[in-house]
Amino acid sequence: MQLNRSISSRPTRNVRIGSVEIGGTQPIAVQSMCATRTTDIELTLRQIRLLESAGADVIRIAIDSKKDVEALKQIRKETEANLVVDLQENYRLAEQLAPYVQKIRYNPGHLHHHQRNVPVADKVKFLVDTAAANDCAIRIGVNFGSLDPDKREEAADPLETALLSAHEHCELVEKLGFQRYVVSLKSSNPLSVVQIYKRFAEERPEIPLHLGVTEAGMLPDGEIKSRIAFEQLLAIGIGDTVRVSLTLPDDEKDKEVLIGRKIIEDVKAGRFRSVPEFLDRGLNVISCPSCSRVENGAFVKLAQEVKRVTEQYQDKKLTIAVMGCRVNGPGETDEADIGLWCGPNFVNLKLGPEKVGAFPYDEVIPRMLEEVERIVADR
């Protein structure tokens, strides 16, 4: 189901991910991610099928524990989908799960947490050896919200930090003779996404790129943000695979794939939308697309509610970030004026990097609105 590429393409090298090949003149692949708990095998399989029926070429699932690995083994028996696993801190799980997936995604910023005494280069070697032994591709997934802490000290700003980190990991992987990898450099700001992918593509034109605007949020803004970035990049041949990240209820997750395909088709047909310039001006509500790590099923409703109650502040320059879990929530909300990240029973409320407190789900919205009012009045 990959879309033929008639838009200009760059001579990136080809990378096979199971039955799909990306890079060079290959069609642009569309990816998505399951938002279900991986241990809920039935629900996860249902979501995999939903995404497949929408035309997903590669489907990501999150694995954080041995229980998730056991679930993955069962899921693998029931589906032929090209699966990519999203590794978090526990990189050693890669060895157990690699026989069941076609690609391993790791985030350089997350390799510092477990086994701090083991050099990052050794951890990368472990991942590369595991991928090579199991016929897997790799994605080096750099994310502005969880950047490598060492690199932060070396670089002037998040964009430079992300670039440094990506270059370092490309070198680490290639020194080991491994070339079957792709890179992503995601930010929640589409303008930063355009800027960094252009820079990286210029510096490493041969490396295939996975495009994405992280935490793009709800519709319609989430689609608009992805479109702003993808249109500008795909039109100049940058991008070999894409994922549109949207905050959606489980049974609507296929929209990520359908919208991704639509954007590619539009660019191919020369249909460009004029995009609103709201990005650095008015209210910007960002929210993660949720995944199996989400700590409370009320997350999607909470994100929708935040958007609804803040509509009256459309013209105020204010960023509110809503995240589903403790894995990425604390870091990814640091840059927002107001951050909310979900725990099992409480929602943590932040002002930039400072924690305000933890509030029950039914109390956090009025508390957040107090902060919104205060910020708006101060400005």
Binding site for ligand SF4 (CB under 6 A): 288-291, 293-294, 323-325, 327-329
CB 17 within 8 A of CB 58: yes
- Identify the CA nearest to 196 among candidates 225, 166, 172, 153: 166
Closest distance of CB 329 from ligand SF4, Å = 5
- Show the CA angle centred on residue 137, arms to residues 225 and 268, nearest 5°: 40
Give the three-class secondary structure for 39: coil
Would you say the C-alpha torsion 280, 328, 107, 85 has a positive or negative sign?
Answer: negative
Closest distance of CB 270 from ligand SF4, Å = 33
- Tell me the sheet residues that pair with 319: 284
Closest distance of CB 243 from ligand SF4, Å = 12
Please say which residue, 27 or 331, places its beta carbon nearer to ligand SF4: 331
Closest distance of CB 128 from ligand SF4, Å = 24
Q: How is residue 18 written in tokens?
A: 């199971």
Please say which residue, 255 or 293, places its beta carbon nearer to ligand SF4: 293
Please say which residue, 147 or 172, places its beta carbon nearer to ligand SF4: 147
Please say which residue, 27 or 289, places its beta carbon nearer to ligand SF4: 289
CB 316 within 8 A of CB 379: yes
Please say which residue, 192 or 290, places its beta carbon nearer to ligand SF4: 290
What's the burial of 323, exposed, middle or buried (CB within 10 Å: 0-12/13-18/19+)?
A: buried
Residue nearest to ligand SF4 (CB): 324
Helix (H) or strand (E) run with residue 19 in it = none
CB 60 within 8 A of CB 34: yes
Closest distance of CB 254 from ligand SF4, Å = 17
Please say which residue, 34 or 138, places its beta carbon nearer to ligand SF4: 34
Closest distance of CB 299 from ligand SF4, Å = 7
Please say which residue, 29 or 342, places its beta carbon nearer to ligand SF4: 342
Give the CA-trace dihedral at 227, 29, 291, 169, to 10 degrees: -100
CB 239 within 8 A of CB 211: yes
Closest distance of CB 55 from ligand SF4, Å = 22
Nearest-angstrom CA–CA distance, 322 and 307: 10
